[in-house]
Amino acid sequence: MLLWKIIQTALRGIIANKMRSFLTMLGIIIGVAAIIAMISIGEGAKKQVTESIQSFGTNLLRVSPGAARMGHVRTGAVETLTIEDAEAINKDVPHILHVATQVRNMAQIKYGNNNSSTSITGTVPQFTIVNNFSVATGRFIDEKDVKLMKKTAVLGATVKKNLFGEGLAIGNYIKIKGVNFLVTGVMATKGQTSWHDPDDQIFIPITTSQKRMFRQDYVDSIYIQVEGQEYIQDVKETAEKLLMRRHRISGTADADFNVRDYTEFIATLQETTRTFTILLGSIAAVSLLVGGIGVMNIMLVSVTERTREIGIRMAVGARRRDILLQFLIEALVISVMGGISGVALGILISYGVSSFGTWDTIITPTSVLLAFFFSVLIGIIFGLYPARKASLMEPIEALRYE
């Protein structure tokens, strides 16, 4: 009953100074809302990065050229990966589902009065399976196209929109570097990432790209789809040994290629976004700390204004512990009310960013509980000094205070 009476007294003190109490809460509200909003943005970024990488394929390894060196200085990418390397990997390395090669170059494209510069990807039929692409209309490159070096093209969704708008693309001819290519298909929308738009490219047979268009014998990358996640490491090591034998390389330090597991990309980027989330949360926590200082400042003012009231309470039998609890609970009530309001505001801000902005947000129970917990902790820490100051007053001195 005594505790409830103390809480009622604290609430009366807050209600008696509504504007001052609201301004005191405002710092807590902003701090809690900022923490929830910043963490939700960071979690959204983490999810978006993970989904973007996973959308490029599952159980995937990528073999890419290493760096050419002159002494200890990198001078550019080497040009040693070939279609024959890919065929050897597909033949001799166990637990592989599909292998796809790729060469990429930028080129000017044109249809009618519309023209732009885009990425031209020379590849093979297995590319769509390995990289998790799908065809919206028409067909993708087939083995006959590759064997006969046909001038056929499959458009990414962005390219199709730029060249044809809402019109029909399949069956029309476009020019790539001034050469006519027959459009045989349009890819389904893959979705743009922060660093790459996979829909802004044109797919042509790899042999056509190498022999007829860009005159290059090497490939830019080899994609390997593994049977299951449990075979990733074994396939990676076996492929590395095979390529080292084919390229006559004795030590891993001299390797002219890199074999990367996409889970490495995911782990690295998740760690980066986690650090980013912590940084955002820490910056937001500063505003909560400032709110705590505001609580302490207002509570000190309240203690000074109510010195005679404290003296009277002590004179009629209130103990020092009762006075300390009264002001500590008052600070705590302010922090709790500010924390609840801040949680509501933070959730609204997060939904607002997701609904009206271009950034996905994820509100986690952990972020809400963490922000609310810190708001309560701030109330206790910054309310303790004013409460202790009030409890240590001498009753006679307090009654004399004007």
Q: pLDDT of 21-63, one tens digit each?
A: 788 788 888 888 888 888 888 888 777 766 666 665 558 899 9
- Looking at residue 24, its pLDDT comes to 79
Map tokens 């003012």 to a residue.
301
Instruction: Tell me the mean pLDDT in the region 87-94.
Output: 93
Q: Could you tell me what percent of the chain has a pLDDT over 90?
A: 33
User: How many Å apart are CA 105 and CA 145, to the nearest integer?
Assistant: 19
User: How many Å apart are CA 38 and CA 107, to the nearest integer?
Assistant: 41
User: How many Å apart are CA 332 and CA 300, to the nearest integer?
Assistant: 14
Give yes or no for a contact between 154 and 202, defined as CB atoms under 8 angstroms apart: yes
Between 19 and 150, name the one with better pLDDT: 150
Give yes or no for a contact between 243 and 85, defined as CB atoms under 8 angstroms apart: yes
- Looking at residue 27, its pLDDT comes to 82
User: How many Å apart are CA 88 and CA 137, to the nearest integer?
Assistant: 33
Q: Could you tell me what percent of the chain has a pLDDT over 70?
A: 88
- Looking at residue 84, its pLDDT comes to 93
User: How many Å apart are CA 377 and CA 39, to the nearest integer?
Assistant: 19
Burial label, 36 (beta-carbon count in 10 A; 0-12, 13-18, 19+): buried
Instruction: Tell me the mean pLDDT in the region 59-70.
Output: 76
- Looking at residue 78, its pLDDT comes to 63
Top-ranked range on mean pLDDT: pick from 222-226, 267-271, 319-323: 222-226
- Looking at residue 54, its pLDDT comes to 60
Map tokens 């009264």 to a residue.
326
Give yes or no for a contact between 162 and 110, defined as CB atoms under 8 angstroms apart: no
Using CA atoms, how far residue 111 sits from 108, 178, 179, in Å, is 11, 10, 11
User: How many Å apart are CA 101 and CA 139, to the nearest integer?
Assistant: 19
User: How many Å apart are CA 189 and CA 8, to the nearest integer?
Assistant: 60
For the beta carbon of residue 115, count every other beta carbon within 10 angstroms: 14
- Looking at residue 75, its pLDDT comes to 46
The pLDDT mean for the chain works out to 83
Q: Which of 369, 372, 362, 294 is nearest to 338 (CA)?
A: 372
Whether the per-residue pLDDT at 74 is higher than 50: the answer is: no
Using CA atoms, how far residue 210 sits from 47, 134, 151, 356, in Å, is 37, 24, 12, 45
Using CA atoms, how far residue 206 sits from 54, 72, 86, 137, 143, in Å, is 24, 34, 13, 21, 10
Please state which of the ranges 226-240, 257-271, 357-371 shows the lowest mean pLDDT.
257-271
Instruction: Tell me the mean pLDDT in the region 56-81.
Output: 67
H/E element holding 70?
strand 67-70
Token code pair at residue 234:
């074994």
For the beta carbon of residue 76, count every other beta carbon within 10 angstroms: 10
Grade residue 183 by pLDDT with cuts at 50, 70 and 90. very high
Whether the per-residue pLDDT at 222 is higher than 90: the answer is: yes
Give yes or no for a contact between 374 and 288, defined as CB atoms under 8 angstroms apart: yes
Whether the per-residue pLDDT at 71 is higher than 70: the answer is: no
CA dihedral over 385, 3, 311, 301, signed as positive or negative: positive
Give yes or no for a contact between 145 and 152, defined as CB atoms under 8 angstroms apart: yes
